[in-house]
Structure 1
Amino acid sequence: MPPTAPPPTAAPTAAPAVELRGVRRRYGRGPAAVHALRGIDLTLPRGSFTAVTGPSGSGKTTLLQCAAGLDRPTSGSIRVAGTEISRMSERRLTALRRSRLGFVFQACNLLPALTVEDNVLLPMRLAGQRPDRRRAADVLARVGLADHAHRRPGRLSGGQQQRVALARALVTGPDVLFADEPTGALDTATAAEVLGLLRHAVDTLGTTVVMVTHDPVAAARADQILVLTGGTLTERLLPGTPQAGD
């Protein structure tokens, strides 16, 4: 009798881009303590676009900062691209942020003395990598600033500066891009351009984007909307994936 063939082995499943388990963040102690996060459980798949919204003081920015390793939770576990970061040393955490994570904030935080190209290349330099000017040219072309590489940020509009900040966040090919109110200081038309670029990063580059926003129009560009209230996830909305080119 021929030997029985072993059952097929299931293909390994990629680790989620971001995974939080029982994450709490408390500031202070005793009766005056502020409980910014109250036991967050969350799994975000790779190549997804998540918007986090909610009223002021709901814990949105604290959630983003903990997930990105910019703040440490009081308790709980955080994994980014399969790597546990909540108990990682500050040295290793800094190296991970520089090489595998991207950040875009409401304030662009560009260095005025550097050219646009050198601002974009800064994460590579900080990570100890050789600056790749071809890579910088590619990401600047993606955000529509190919002809602005040798200008200083002060010669650009606010929307152009935010696009430089986005190019800087993408230059290392991060696993996850964290954006905190990236359109908060922009007019409606310019905000739509930046949101379109974030959508493009997800759909074309496979980047995972986690965006904090108070703007329902911005949130609607995401694959899912998480609503935070009083440090607790209270709702998950699915606005539907926007059409390509929207």
Structure 2
Amino acid sequence: MKVYELRNVSYRYPTGEWALRGINMEVTRGETLAIVGPNGAGKTTLLKLMDALIMPTEGEILFEGRPITEETTTDREFRRRVGFLFQSPDVMLFSATVLEDVAFGPVHLWGREKGLRRAREELRKLGIEGLADRHPYSLSGGEKKKASIACVTSMEPEVLLLDEPTRDLDLKNRNFVLDMIRHWKDRGMTVVVVTHDLRLIRLADRVYVVNRKVLFEGTPRELFSRPELIERANLDVPEIVRLFHMLGLKEIPLSVEEAVDILRRKGFRP
């Protein structure tokens, strides 16, 4: 089932500059979709359009077959079902305590008693219940990211829109976010993620390369098979991929383990 369908979607900034032109895109239920491209390519704008935070200048966006309109902006059920994780956690953390921030959406949706209970449950699931009474501005970058994730998942969404979720995080916290995305993927949630993180791209079922328009749509393996396209997307070409191209091998691995298996089958021996 199609969760999203974007038909010839364009968006123009108030300055008159076009951020996106003629975007055609589909997101199916339960898939993990990565959107990649250079800075300023319109990727965050694309997520905001999908979350009904802004409306397209041209074209239309369907959510489960129904057009997203101005009314969608204040539709409580849409807001519950679709969660948006902003690139900067500070956008989402504005209350006196982390618990109040995480409970903000659930309280408005289900009332104070259930909302606070949901918030505490989510903090516990993420292993950050110890942050409940902390002021958000006293948190580290990784703690802020975890708290902002809890703000989204406490609403029990079915669709997650993630804007650069691993940006500016150290290795431990990047791994935490990657593990969360694997967990959501295993649960069959629909995840759309804007990212430059190659490990995260490898988790995706499909990838779109966007630079104001769609340049490519395919699997991560197909993307990694085209180094020139990776560079146009402002991504580092993985060293393993670079090696395989230098060796003239067309079968491209997505992990070290795959690389070893392919090389052994090709007759390479350590």
Work out the CA distance in 2 between the residues paired with 1:25 and 1:112: 29
Aligned to 2:4: 18
1:104 aligns with 2:85: yes
Bigger shift: 36-45 or 118-127? 118-127
Deviation track 1:115-167 (CA, whole Å, cap 9, x = no partner) reads 22221111123446444333223322222213332333244321121111111
Taking structure 2 as the reference length, the TM-score comes to 0.72
1:210 aligns with 2:196: no
Aligned to 2:41: 58
Taking structure 1 as the reference length, the TM-score comes to 0.79
Note closer, same or farther for the CA distance 1:165–1:122 as it changes in structure 2 (3 Å cut): same
Aligned to 1:43: 26
Aligned to 1:3: none
2:214 corresponds to which of 233, 238, 244: 233
Bigger shift: 179-188 or 124-133? 124-133
Work out the CA distance in 1 between the residues paired with 2:111 and 2:5: 28
Note closer, same or farther for the CA distance 1:81–1:141 as it changes in structure 2 (3 Å cut): farther
Q: Which has the higher contact order (CA 8 A, sep 6+)?
A: 1
Gaps of 5+ in 1: 1-14
- Once the two structures are TM-superposed, the CA of residue 209 in structure 1 deviates from its matched residue by 1.4
Q: Where in structure 2 are the equivalents of 1:45-124 lying within 5 Å? A: 45-85=28-68, 87-89=69-71, 92-96=72-76, 98-109=79-90, 110-111=92-93, 113-124=95-106
3-state DSSP of counterpart to 1:202: helix
Please identify runs of 4+ aligned residues in structure 1 that moved more than 6 A.
none
| Contact 2:41–2:210, Cα closer than 8 Å, also in 1 | yes
Bigger shift: 57-66 or 112-121? 112-121
3-state DSSP of counterpart to 1:42: strand
Note closer, same or farther for the CA distance 1:113–1:56 as it changes in structure 2 (3 Å cut): closer
Work out the CA distance in 2 between the residues paired with 1:78 and 1:53: 20
Which has the larger helix fraction?
2
Work out the CA distance in 1 between the residues paired with 2:185 and 2:122: 14
Aligned to 1:170: 153
Note closer, same or farther for the CA distance 1:41–1:112 as it changes in structure 2 (3 Å cut): closer
Bigger shift: 193-202 or 119-128? 119-128
Q: Which amino acid aligns with 2:73?
A: L
Work out the CA distance in 2 between the residues paired with 1:82 and 1:186: 37
Q: In the comparison of the two structures, how many residue pairs are matched?
A: 220
Deviation track 1:24-58 (CA, whole Å, cap 9, x = no partner) reads 112358xxx42222211111111221111111222
| Contact 2:108–2:115, Cα closer than 8 Å, also in 1 | no
1:27 corresponds to which of 13, 17, 23: 13
Work out the CA distance in 1 between the residues paired with 2:107 and 2:64: 23
- Once the two structures are TM-superposed, the CA of residue 228 in structure 1 deviates from its matched residue by 0.6
**What's the % identity of the aligned pairs?**
37
CA RMSD of aligned residues (A): 2.5
Gaps of 5+ in 2: 222-253, 256-270
Aligned to 2:233: none
Work out the CA distance in 1 between the residues paired with 2:10 and 2:50: 11
